[in-house]
Chain A
Amino acid sequence: MQQTQTVQDEVQSSAPAPRLGRAIVLTSGKGGVGKTTTTANLGTALAHRGARVVLVDADVGLRNLDIVLGLESRVKHHLLDVLEERVSLDEALVPGKHSESLFLLAAAQSREKDDVDTAKMKALISSLRERFDYVLIDCPAGIELGFRNAVAGADEAIVICTPEVAAVRDVDRVVGLLGNRFRPQLVINRLRPNLVKKGKMLSVEDVNAILRLPLLGVIADEPEIIVTTNRGEPLALRKETATGAAYHAIAARVAGEDVPAPMPAAPKATILERVGSLFGGRHA
């Protein structure tokens, strides 16, 4: 056994080592917390840095990622066409609108999550890693087969959590299921700093006191995200906005740069609030 291992090592090291990209699954357990939005924006920001990025929509049956990226009219083939060998990978990859190094592999809309063959999915992600620096996998909600398939080929995980009891609970469960292999990192989405300040929303510290995960960054609850999703142009394309910049900071951190985790700024206290703080209690 030991012998074979060594021989294999030698064979591998003598061949020109292909630099494999990173396969990162974005997951949350709970639905609607921002997996797809984060995948689209993080992918956009990573591609902006010059990395070759492919976004894989693993939410088979509920295709969304093409819409968020504004690519819905260009999708001709999908993940299952590739897995079931009806078309080649090149035929199915849809180039991004705004970046030459961003590609989408769409989900099948009229099929079901259970139609995905886990082993083939794994093999596909492996081959994507040979061609791209980042393979971001947009995971469906839930912890069933769809989740397992999305996770199958990944070697890292980013978990998305909103500051809500149910979301934190579900992330806790998902992280338990993932185990240590995926070294999960955390993005907190839809934080409303003014509500946190008023003691009406769980804070970043509250959430991470429970999850205890390396924090990639925090994204504000941002009305512009709805507008950009309507248009199919991820907010990360507008680096000058606070939230756009936050996605770029997260991308930098994913790429290993030592920049601080982005954190939405709390609005300045109103006069009424400042009077209120004289009487204490705000921060209880």
Chain B
Amino acid sequence: MIDFLKRLFGPSGSSTTAKERLRLVLMTDHLELSPELIEAMKRDLVDVISRHVEVDRDKIEVNFERQDSALAMLANIPILSVGRPNGNPTLVPIETVQSPIVANGSAPRVRKRRKRAAKKTAPTSAAPASAAAQ
């Protein structure tokens, strides 16, 4: 009964939908990443990861994808070999570094985006993954 009344009087939610769509669409609008910038990001990413594992520089793929409520940067970095001489513990190969960029509808003039702490699809013990994604 209460449920029924709630449904009857509850928010139609269309303004919530509008807000959400706006947030996402603006995030995509603001993400003006030039091919050069993406290349530079790839290079930086690889440099960091390469300190720990050997990766295949030529086969790296970086994509941006819209997920439910966030924009995600997906990087596919093939690993050639793991373990480096500098005393690091054994490493687990990383396949994908995923770093969702939080939609925050930031002011358009300040072209700065907040990033949520990196989420990784690789096993949790893969320290370099989080290092690379941050």
A residues whose Cβ falls under 8 Å from a Cβ of B = 164-165, 168-169, 172-173, 175-176, 179-180, 196, 198-203, 206, 209-212, 273, 275-277, 279-284
Complex partner residue of B105 from A209, A279, A283, CB under 8 angstroms: A209
Known A176-B109, A282-B9: A169·B26 in contact at CB below 8 Å:
yes
Contact residues in A for B2 (Cβ distance below 8 Å)? 279
Complex Cα spacing A71 to B25, Å: 41
What residue in chain A is nearest B11 (Cβ atoms)? A199
Known A276-B8, A279-B6: A172·B26 in contact at CB below 8 Å:
yes
B9 touches A277 (CB 8 A): yes
What residue in chain A is nearest B10 (Cβ atoms)? A281
> Which residues of chain B from 1 to 36 have any CB-CB distance to chain A below 8 Å in the complex?
2, 5-6, 8-16, 18-19, 21-23, 25-26, 29
Contact residues in B for A282 (Cβ distance below 8 Å)? 9-11
Complex Cα spacing A206 to B109, Å: 18
Complex Cα spacing A130 to B13, Å: 51
Complex Cα spacing A201 to B29, Å: 22
Complex Cα spacing A114 to B16, Å: 40
Sample of 25 A–B contacts (CB below 8 Å): A165-B25, A168-B26, A169-B22, A169-B25, A169-B29, A172-B26, A173-B108, A180-B109, A198-B12, A199-B13, A199-B14, A199-B15, A200-B12, A201-B15, A201-B18, A206-B15, A206-B18, A210-B23, A210-B26, A212-B107, A276-B5, A276-B8, A280-B6, A282-B11, A284-B16
A199 touches B12 (CB 8 A): yes
Complex Cα spacing A169 to B25, Å: 8
B15 touches A203 (CB 8 A): yes
Contact residues in B for A180 (Cβ distance below 8 Å)? 109
A218 to chain B, nearest CB (A): 16
The residue in B6, B11, B22 that gathers the most chain A C-beta atoms within 10 A of its C-beta is B22
Task: State how many residues of chain B have any CB contact under 8 Å with chain A.
Answer: 24
Known A172-B26, A179-B109: A200·B14 in contact at CB below 8 Å:
yes
What residue in chain B is nearest A276 (Cβ atoms)? B9
Overall SS of chain B's interface: helix
A276 to chain B, nearest CB (A): 3
Contact residues in B for A211 (Cβ distance below 8 Å)? 107-108
B residues whose Cβ falls under 8 Å from a Cβ of A = 2, 5-6, 8-16, 18-19, 21-23, 25-26, 29, 105, 107-109
Complex partner residue of B11 from A168, A175, A202, A281, CB under 8 angstroms: A281
What residue in chain A is nearest B12 (Cβ atoms)? A200
Complex Cα spacing A202 to B16, Å: 8
Known A173-B29, A210-B26: A198·B11 in contact at CB below 8 Å:
yes
Complex Cα spacing A277 to B8, Å: 11
What residue in chain B is nearest A210 (Cβ atoms)? B105
Complex partner residue of A199 from B16, B25, B107, CB under 8 angstroms: B16
Complex Cα spacing A173 to B107, Å: 11
Complex Cα spacing A169 to B30, Å: 11
A154 to chain B, nearest CB (A): 17
CB-based closest 3 A-B pairs: A276-B9, A199-B11, A281-B10
B73 to chain A, nearest CB (A): 22
Complex Cα spacing A279 to B4, Å: 10
What residue in chain B is nearest A281 (Cβ atoms)? B10
Complex Cα spacing A21 to B133, Å: 52
Contact residues in B for A281 (Cβ distance below 8 Å)? 6, 9-11
Contact residues in B for A209 (Cβ distance below 8 Å)? 105
What residue in chain A is nearest B32 (Cβ atoms)? A176
Contact residues in B for A273 (Cβ distance below 8 Å)? 9
Contact residues in A for B29 (Cβ distance below 8 Å)? 169, 172-173
Complex Cα spacing A280 to B108, Å: 35
A175 touches B105 (CB 8 A): no
Complex partner residue of A165 from B8, B12, B18, CB under 8 angstroms: B18
